[in-house]
């Protein structure tokens, strides 16, 4: 299982339409994502979607 998503990979997929960097701190404060970094494994910090984050996204997607 992948440990998380590289921020640079997210920005590349969005074709720099929006930079997520300013929002990461707030998303982490709300418990929606978890930022992990292990210098012995990772070249850059990774973002992990928490269970709370998954639930919030599903609620937003499927609400009327």
Does the pTM surpass 0.75? The reply is no
Output the CA torsion sign for 31, 32, 35, 41.
Answer: positive
pLDDT tens-digit series, residues 1-48: 567 767 666 666 666 566 667 788 888 899 988 888 888 888 888 888
Residues spanned by the domain of 18: 5-62
Partners of residue 34 on adjacent β-strands: 48
Which pLDDT belongs to residue 37?
85
Which pLDDT belongs to residue 13?
61
Dihedral over alpha carbons 33, 37, 43, 48 (to 10 degrees): -20
Task: Name the burial class of residue 46, with classes exposed (0-12), middle (13-18) and buried (19+) by CB atoms within 10 angstroms of its CB.
Answer: buried
Choice between 51 and 44, residue whose per-residue pLDDT is larger: 51
Which pLDDT belongs to residue 52?
92
Q: How many domains does the chain have?
A: 1
């Amino acid at each position: 299982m992948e440990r998380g998503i590289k921020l640079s990979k997210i920005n590349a997929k969005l074709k720099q339409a929006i930079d997520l960097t300013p929002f990461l701190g707030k998303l982490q404060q709300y418990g929606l994502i978890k930022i992990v970094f292990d210098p012995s494994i990772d070249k850059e910090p990774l973002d992990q979607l928490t269970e709370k984050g998954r639930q919030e996204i599903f609620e937003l997607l499927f609400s009327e």
